[in-house]
Amino acid sequence: MGRPSQPLISRDAAFRAALTVIDREGLEAFSVARLAEEMNVKVPSLYHHFRHKGEILAGVARLIMVEADDLKRWPRGPWKEVFENLTVSAWRAMVRHRNAMPLIFQFPPRSVVLGSYERNINVLEKKGVPRHQILRLLQGMDSILMGAAFVAASADPDSTGVFPAFDPHAFPALAAVAGASDMNHEDLLRATMRTFMDGVSPDLPEENAVTAGAEVA
């Protein structure tokens, strides 16, 4: 066959195809051979673009974090509301690619994460959030986001609520309090974020005035 007129493979296309395979069939099912098949290409051709399998997997992890971060465009509005919505978007991206979660653990895309922190710091500063609160806020939200993604992604995708099906006789106290709540994972994430943001940055009347005046496009 020899070299084709149009390249059949690009690194980016390979990352996307790999993610598709992982989304559809799970991380265990992924292999270089499986990826080649998905791209209608032969295995050694992929090794022309990548040194080893780990390079592909790291690219997939990066792709997901870029997708999660890409939505963080900070439209105008009160920063808590905007920040909450953007974090939910990031959470959705991670849950959408739940099968790939271990990759984000194994190949943390540091530059993407650092870039996201950098921009969010700048926006929060412009929005008038006191400087000493900013790092606290971002790091806490990051923990909450990653935890919620981890928990939701590892949960049974078919179950409606947050808890898996359980025998109420075996866990009576849980049955009593869980029965009262019908929150899903996303509601829970929002509630946790709001409580946390209000805790770090209480809505003092003067502060609201400052924040409202310091909004950013």
Partner DNA sequence: ATTATCTATAGATCTATAGATAATGC
Per CB under 7 A, residues contacting DNA are: 1-5, 7-9, 31-34, 40-45, 47-49, 51-54
Tokens 């609520």 found at: 161
Please state, in angstroms and rounded to a whole number, the distance separating the CA atoms of residues 4 and 99.
34
Which residue, 20 or 45, is less far from DNA as judged by CB?
45
**Does 191 contact a copy of itself by CB under 8 A?**
yes
Q: Does 18 engage in binding with a copy of itself (CB under 8 A)? A: no
The one of a copy of itself, DNA, none whose footprint includes residue 34, by CB under 5 to 8 A per kind, is DNA
**Integer Cα distance of 121 and 138 in angstroms:** 8
Partner whose binding site includes residue 145, from DNA, a copy of itself, none (CB under 5 to 8 Å by kind): a copy of itself
Tell me how far apart the alpha carbons of residues 114 and 5 are, in angstroms, rounded to a whole number.
Answer: 39
Q: Counting contacts by CB under 8 A, is residue 56 touching a copy of itself?
A: no
Q: Which does 208 bind (CB under 5 to 8 A by kind): a copy of itself, DNA, none?
A: none
Phi, psi of 214 (to 5 degrees): -105, 20
Q: Choose between 29 and 114: whose C-beta lies nearer to a copy of itself.
A: 114
Identify the three-state secondary structure at position 31.
coil
Among the residue ranges 3-11, 17-25, 62-70, 166-174, the one whose residues contact a copy of itself (CB under 8 A): 166-174
Cβ contacts of residue 197 below 8 Å, gap of 6+? 80, 83, 84, 137, 141
